[in-house]
Every structure is written in C-alpha cells, then in structure tokens.
Structure 1
Amino acid sequence: MTPLRFSPMLATPSERREFGPGWLLERKLDGIRALAYRDGPTVRLESRTGKQLAPGFPELAEALAAQPVRRFVLDGEIVALDEHGATSFERLQRRMQLHDPRRALATGVAVTYFLFDLLRLEEYDTTRLPLAERKRVLARALRYGGPLRYTEHREADGPAPLAEACARGWEGLIVKRADGAYQQRRSSDWLKLKCTAAQELVVGGFTDPAGSRAGFGALLLGTHLADGRLRYAGKVGTGFSTAVLHALRARLDALARPGSPFDGPVPERAPHWVEPVLVAQCAFTGWTEEGRLRHPRFLGLREDKEAREVFRESFREDQGT
C-alpha cells in the first residue's frame, strides 16, 4: 500500500499590515518545514520535498511515537533555538546534513518541533475543517513537552504587531484565515510578514578564491522569473566557515556545466558555472535598483526546497522599524 502523503500549505509573502477579526497571528519560524505521519508503530518525518528526516532528528521521531494518538498527520517547523530563544538557521545547519542518529545527537544542537496544524487524526481527514478548529483539536490531541511544542496564536484586530515581533528576535509573523481549510499549495489564506530581508536563492556558479581563502570566492545567485528563466541576483562571499567552503566546493565541482544557467550577462571575471539545483539561504539588507542583493550573508543550504520554487520575494526595507 502506498504511504499516505500530503503536500504542505505554503504562505504568500505580503506587505499587508492591517488585519481584522477572522485572522490568526503566529510566530514565523526559520527552520525546516516538516510533516509528521504516524500509523500505529510507524513514524515518518518528511520535508517539503519528501526527504526523510527522522534519521537526522531521532529525538523528534521518539517523541512522536510516544504520543497517545495512534494515527495522525501533523504540520510544523523544526528549528534550533539560540540562548535568547530566537531561531538560528545557522545552528540548525549542523544537524541538517546528518543522517546518522548517533552523529546527529552528538552535535549537541538541540532541536524543537513547533506544531501548528493538523491534517489527519485517527481515521478523520481534518483538512476541510476551519483552521481555528484544527488548532483547537491539535492543542488537545497531543502531549507537549521536550522537543515538541504547540505553536501559539492570537487573534488579529488592527495593525499587525510586526515591530513587536521583530524586537523579540522573531523572523516575522504568519497571518492565517481562521476559517480557512488546509490547501495543499501556496495560498493567500496564509501570509508571511518578514522582519528582515532573507530568502532562498539558486546557486548558478561560483568564483575562484583569492589569497589564502579556500574552496571558492563567492557563490553566484539568482531567482526565477515567472516564465522559468533564472535571473542573476548577485553574489555572496561571507558567512562561510573553512569547513563549509571545502565541502561546498566539492558539491559545486560535481555539478559543473559548460555554460551559464542565468538569463543574461553576469558581470564576473572567469566564473565557474554549475547546474542550478542547490538552494542557498541568505540574509541581506535589501535589493538594489538593478535587482541585486545588498550586503548578502550566507546562512546555509536548504535541502528542503526545490530550486524551481525560488522566486524573488517582496520586502519593505522599513518594515521592521
């Protein structure tokens, strides 16, 4: 029998700031989106792309297997929290590349699985229920503690408290229609309001290292246009440890191609081109008028997102102030 599988509902980037009754506000988390499946003794933890995550996060699989509910499908985000309670994608990177349970636990990086939606409970499909009802059932159905947390929410009533969220070190807010069903696609029923400029970008090439630097100089990045063409968005040369420079260079060399994957010229001397399949998460201060990243910094590779899904997200540079 083919295992049950859902596609996650995705939020739409938005600059809207006023929300009346009928909308719920949740904390935006910066980690790995994960769907959890349990069918009796069997527990699966899958990324957005269907990658199996349980071997790299054995404490989460164990906590899910210990639940009193024997059958469920849950939606949530796996994160690593820093000492201030803020999500750290850079810290999470130390766990994302590991698939051996013992090595994953030996890193000492604690992870938390924030659960925010319920897609199935026992034999019942809950996706057609209103979100507010799904969250009420989710809050009661599971035992929380250890690495499992319920994602709290508040009802919207006027301006979204984005500045307050940013001051607390959050990534932003997710605003959801309280009466909305769960849609297995990107939807405007879920909106994401971000505190800082950060998004995924496609790696299309790299430059040679200079001086004593190892691996490579900078990654050449792009985003897709609506018609599928890859537009150059600039380069990132900071945020890499020496170990990451060496490991990433090996992956880049294996993806070498003779010609540029970008649509249009790339103003770099003697670049090396690669198949545009790797997705990098970068923080930056905004976009230039030419559509290039301003002061980007590499945070890590996203193994849970397909390159074809990467488009430029909107960002208001004054939104967190």
Structure 2
Amino acid sequence: MDLPVMPPVKPMLARPVSTIPPGMQYEAKWDGFRAVVHRDGEEVVLGSRTGKPLTRYFPEVVEAVRENLPPRCVVDGEIVVAYDGRLDFDRLSERIHPADSRVRTLAGRTPASLVVFDVLALGDDVLTGRPLTERRAVLERVMAEASAPVHLAPATTDEALARRWFEQYEGAGLDGVVAKPLDLLYRPDVRAMYKIKHERTADCVVAGYRLHKSGPVVGSLLLGLYDARGALQHVGVSAAFPMKRRAELVEELEPLRIDPAEHPWAAWADATAHEGARLPGAPSRWSGKKDMSWVAIAPERVCEVAYDHMEGGRFRHTARFRRWRPDRTPSGCTYAQLEEVVRYDLSEVLSSG
C-alpha cells in the first residue's frame, strides 16, 4: 500500500455539549464502529478508532469498498449493522470473533454497511489540511455513484433540520447529532467536533458493585430494573465517581452486603444462566480475561441515573449517577418508566445522504 496518508490513523473525535451550536455542518451521530478506510487498488485496510485493523471482521465491507470507492483514497466513516429498520449494535459486536468461519457466516446473515462522512486523501492529494467545506465537496463528488452497502452520510448547515434529525433519527437507532465547524481541518485523535446526545433519567435498583482497579474502593455500581415478570435484570453500570466518593460508597454500602448465594443474580458465574436473564459478568469477547467478579448487596437502595438510550434491554453506554432516591421503592424500578422512542426507518436516514 502506497498512499499519501498511511495507516494507522486515529480518527478526529468530538466532545460532548448540551445543545446544538449554531453556524456549523450537522450530521447524524452513528452508533457503530468508527473506521478510517484506506484503499490502494485491491488493498483495503479498515482501521479502528484505536488504530487496530478491523479488516478481517468485515469481508463484505472490504468488497464493497473495492466496488464503490475511488482506487486510491482514505475516508473516515462508521461501520454499522441494520436489523429490522434500525441500527443494531449487539449484532455488530458479534462480528468481532476469532473464528473466520463465524465471521463469514454472520457477514452473510447480517451484513454490515459503511457510512462515509469525511475524506482524508484522494489519489496523491492529502486533504487533511483543507477546510471541512472543501473536503465535503470532494466527498460528495467521489461518492456520487456509490451504492449500498456504502453510503454518503447526510449533512446539512440548516440548524432547524439538524434539530429535526436529533428528534427523528433516534427512532432508527442513531445516537444524536455531530456538529462540525465549517473551516475545520482534519485533526486526528483531537476532539475538534461537537456531539449532542440524548439524555434521559431512570430510577434503578443498586444491586452490587465492582471494585476499582486501584484498590478496595467502588469502581462501578451495578444497576437493575424489574421486568414484567418481576425478575431483576442487570441493565448496566454507573462508574464516574471522584476517588474520595468511591471510598465513601464502600462504607455506605457495607451494611447491605449479603451472601452472593442469596442474591437474585446468584447464578451470574454460570454461562448458561445468561441465556434467560440479564446478569452481571456476561461472557464477552470484549472482557477477555478481565476479572468480572462483584460484591453482592441487598437490592434495597434506589438511585437516579442519566442515560442516552437503551439497546437490547440495557443501557447502551455507562449511565451517569445523579442522586440517591430514598423516596422510591425498588419494586417501582421497572422498565415501564422508560420513555418509548418513536421508530424511524433507517432507510430514510441513509437515502437522505
């Protein structure tokens, strides 16, 4: 491979803000695997956010790149999997598998797509030093003849339309909106853009905690919600606490410690138990040999957390602790309290690109 911008390249990043800033280019925030794609003839490299290649996990994307992108180019985008008209991160995550046969089976069953939103190089020209408006014009030109599963990401400078996207696109599984200054140069591994994500709150049962890697203080609180059958399901964690607060939490929760065998999630270490319930410590290709053990506490305390969206019955990202809720009973912490998002067909999002 001989390109003016060579792999690995860490993509440009975004920092969170609470409102959509004015006077920028706006795009949807995709919920997938970020990928900087290098193509030099038949050679294709799909680089992850960390710089490690994703190429072997998405053979159908590699072939689609050869069919739809210029012979020599470097583009920035997102690899996504769609299912039932919306993005499905769980099915996307299944693709990171050590067995090539499994990867190819899933590539046929739930093929991935590539959504392209920036261009870093074309032919022998490096474009990272050009403003966003020029890069977008080049990208629209080179993507004019592209077809599924390679898509040009929709973009607009209309703030009102961006607000509409923010409300509608969540129903298709998207995260929110990204705002980019019009004169923005491409800055790898720098948070030079802005991301605006949905935030909601929920009351959850605190049913345990994991210790912090630094020592005997709380690393994360394990959160639960009761389903329609009355079973307590593990829905995620809340983890961002100052070190002093982590130590205080150990003392606060000590009176609630119980024998793990008496806990609703007592079977968490049995891999087969995860097939019919959501339990902490689920087997994962991401966790590897990481210690997933946790401290069991009686599910008697309730806290309010902020979250952006749910995926498969759990919080998609780490929830943010807001406050304890002594006025709430654990039995009232159910899935019924969660806001229902109006569905929106993903094909409508992709076709607008």
C-alpha separation in 2, matches of 1:42 and 1:230: 49
Deviations 1:62-86 (A, max 9, x none): 12123462221111111111222x2
Partner of 1:155: 157
Listed as ranges, the gaps of 5+ residues in structure 2 are 202-211, 214-218, 223-232, 254-264, 269-273, 299-313, 326-332, 343-353
- Identity over aligned pairs, percent: 26
Partner of 1:275: none
C-alpha separation in 2, matches of 1:296 and 1:80: 29
Structure 1 residues 249 and 137, CA, compared in 2 at 3 Å: closer, same or farther?
A: closer
Partner of 1:172: 176
Partner of 1:307: none
Say if 2:35 and 2:48, in contact at 8 Å, map to a contact too. yes
With structure 1 as the length reference, what TM-score do the two structures score? 0.64
Structure 1 residues 133 and 253, CA, compared in 2 at 3 Å: closer, same or farther?
A: closer
Partner of 2:104: 105
Match of 1:289 among 303, 323, 333: 323
C-alpha separation in 1, matches of 2:234 and 2:129: 46
Deviations 1:113-133 (A, max 9, x none): 101010111111101111121
Q: What pairs up with 1:237-276 in 2 under 5 angstroms?
A: 241=275, 248=283, 254-256=289-291, 268=297
Partner of 1:308: none
C-alpha separation in 2, matches of 1:25 and 1:140: 19
After TM superposition, give the deviation of residue 281 of structure 1 in Å.
7.0
AA of the residue aligned to 1:6: V
C-alpha separation in 2, matches of 1:101 and 1:114: 24
AA of the residue aligned to 1:156: D
* Aligned-partner SS, 1:19: coil
C-alpha separation in 1, matches of 2:284 and 2:46: 29
AA of the residue aligned to 1:282: R
Partner of 1:75: 76
After TM superposition, give the deviation of residue 224 of structure 1 in Å.
5.7
After TM superposition, give the deviation of residue 48 of structure 1 in Å.
0.9
AA of the residue aligned to 2:322: T
Deviations 1:256-288 (A, max 9, x none): 499x9xxxxx7848xxxxxxxxxx973577633
Structure 1 residues 164 and 72, CA, compared in 2 at 3 Å: closer, same or farther?
A: same
Asked whether 1:131 is paired with 2:132, we answer: yes
* Aligned-partner SS, 1:34: strand
* Aligned-partner SS, 1:44: strand
Q: What pairs up with 1:11-160 in 2 under 5 angstroms?
A: 11-20=14-23, 23-67=24-68, 69-84=70-85, 86-95=86-95, 97-107=96-106, 108-142=109-143, 143-157=145-159, 160=163
AA of the residue aligned to 1:145: S
C-alpha separation in 2, matches of 1:222 and 1:140: 44
Say if 1:206 and 1:219, in contact at 8 Å, map to a contact too. no
Say if 1:32 and 1:47, in contact at 8 Å, map to a contact too. yes
Say if 1:283 and 1:296, in contact at 8 Å, map to a contact too. no
After TM superposition, give the deviation of residue 205 of structure 1 in Å.
7.9
After TM superposition, give the deviation of residue 195 of structure 1 in Å.
2.5
**Count of residue pairs the alignment pairs up:** 261
Structure 1 residues 296 and 106, CA, compared in 2 at 3 Å: closer, same or farther?
A: farther
Say if 1:197 and 1:284, in contact at 8 Å, map to a contact too. no
C-alpha separation in 1, matches of 2:60 and 2:97: 14
Listed as ranges, the gaps of 5+ residues in structure 1 are 208-216, 261-265, 270-279, 298-316
Structure 1 residues 197 and 133, CA, compared in 2 at 3 Å: closer, same or farther?
A: farther
AA of the residue aligned to 2:11: P
Say if 2:35 and 2:78, in contact at 8 Å, map to a contact too. yes
Larger radius of gyration: 2
Say if 2:20 and 2:179, in contact at 8 Å, map to a contact too. no
Deviations 1:37-78 (A, max 9, x none): 122331111111122211110011112123462221111111
Moved more, 59-68 or 49-58: 59-68
Deviations 1:169-221 (A, max 9, x none): 5321111112211111232x4111112459xxx996899xxxxxxxxx96984
* Aligned-partner SS, 1:24: strand
Partner of 1:311: none
C-alpha separation in 1, matches of 2:277 and 2:170: 31
Say if 2:221 and 2:239, in contact at 8 Å, map to a contact too. no
Say if 1:126 and 1:134, in contact at 8 Å, map to a contact too. yes
AA of the residue aligned to 2:290: L
* Aligned-partner SS, 1:179: coil
Deviations 1:274-308 (A, max 9, x none): xxxxxx973577633269xxx799xxxxxxxxxxx
With structure 2 as the length reference, what TM-score do the two structures score? 0.59
C-alpha separation in 1, matches of 2:236 and 2:318: 15
Moved more, 282-291 or 127-136: 282-291
Deviations 1:138-179 (A, max 9, x none): 122244213211101111345833334345553211111122
